[in-house]
Amino acid sequence: MDAEYDVVIVGGGAAGLSAAIYTTRAQMKTLIVEQLAPGGQILNTSDIENYPGFPDGVLGPDIGTAIHRQAEKTGTEFAFDQVIELKVDGDVKVVVGEEREYTAKTIIITTGGEHNKLEVPGEDEFAGRGVTYCATCDGNFFKGQDTVVVGGGDAAIDEGMYLSRIVNSLTIVHRRDELRATKVLQDRAYSTENVSFKLSHAVKEIRGNGQVDRVLLEDLKTGEEFEYPTSGVFIYIGFHPNSSFLQGTVTLDPGGHVITDIRMETDKPGVFAAGDVRQYSDRQLGTSVGDGITAALSAYRYITEG
């Protein structure tokens, strides 16, 4: 069986689109299989101020659309389909979609991931208007303001410490009566002057008028509910990669992330992974772009040197 494509990229976010720009410029026939619209999570991000080359910032949908157009211009083909399985043991790899199958010499997995949500009223309504899942992305928008971090693990405390250097005050809200973060992070948080804690508390609702201005908290020990003023709600209750279809195909870590080496190679020859779906991703636009480029160059070497 001959492969229809040199490269099939599963996922059309920043990592996938960046990979496609490089593979098509290397004259490799490339297809991106995307379930929704190309662009990924950056389409849901308002202002991006930390991406190099944009001193005045850039809107997420603008840069997402621009990368998509660039990938199209270099010759990338697109298919809109839900991938349900990969067959990767032969020289010709098969991407199995709900609509049809796609064959390729190499596959690059760039399916990204999603932040776990609180699933409370107001969370979706105020997304990008006070509700965020990334302090390093959005912290500067809350300079000098009062903010809340929801969660008690390493990510919540680590991002909270970053945020504490920017905001006026930070309140950490956690369901349990003690934090889950490593002791060194806990010690740092407890010794930071503008950080306070609402342990054994839960966010029941996020409220505001166009922008977040308060949350409804519940004291889980007494059942008391009360409003708590805040301009921003940073949510860190977990992150899950979009990798359920990869079970038994490539090696995943306990959290479901694809394990790769520094060249974005998985344990299956000719199969690469990039961006938020891979282990140790920093979940930043810049690192996703870099991952995608690295995976593309590795795929090129696999085909031309193999």
Phi, psi of 208 (to 5 degrees): 170, -175
Q: What is the largest CA-CA distance in the chain?
A: 66
Kindly name the residue from 47, 134, 146, 219 that is annotated as catalytic.
134
Kindly name the residue from 6, 81, 138, 291 that is annotated as catalytic.
138
- If 0-12 CB within 10 Å is exposed, 13-18 middle and 19+ buried, where does residue 254 land? exposed
Q: How many residues does the chain have?
A: 306
138 is catalytic: yes
Could you give the CA distance from residue 92 to residue 2 in angstroms, rounded to a whole number?
7
Cα atoms in the 13 Å half-sphere on the side-chain side of 96? 8
134 is catalytic: yes
Spatial contact of 283 and 155, defined as CB atoms under 8 Å apart: no
Spatial contact of 175 and 200, defined as CB atoms under 8 Å apart: yes
81 is catalytic: no
Could you give the CA distance from residue 14 to residue 183 in angstroms, rounded to a whole number?
35
Tokens of 116: 């776990």
Strand positions, DSSP E, the chain: 5-10, 30-34, 47-48, 58-59, 77-80, 83-87, 93-97, 101-109, 113-115, 131-132, 146-150, 169-174, 195-199, 201-208, 212-219, 225-229, 232-235, 239-241, 271-273
In the 8-state DSSP scheme, what is residue 212? E
In the 8-state DSSP scheme, what is residue 149? E
Region of residue 154 (left: phi > 0; alpha: psi -120 to 50; beta: else): alpha
Kindly name the residue from 137, 158, 276, 291 that is annotated as catalytic.
137
Angle (CA) 254 255 256, round 5° = 95
Enzyme catalytic residues: 134, 137-138
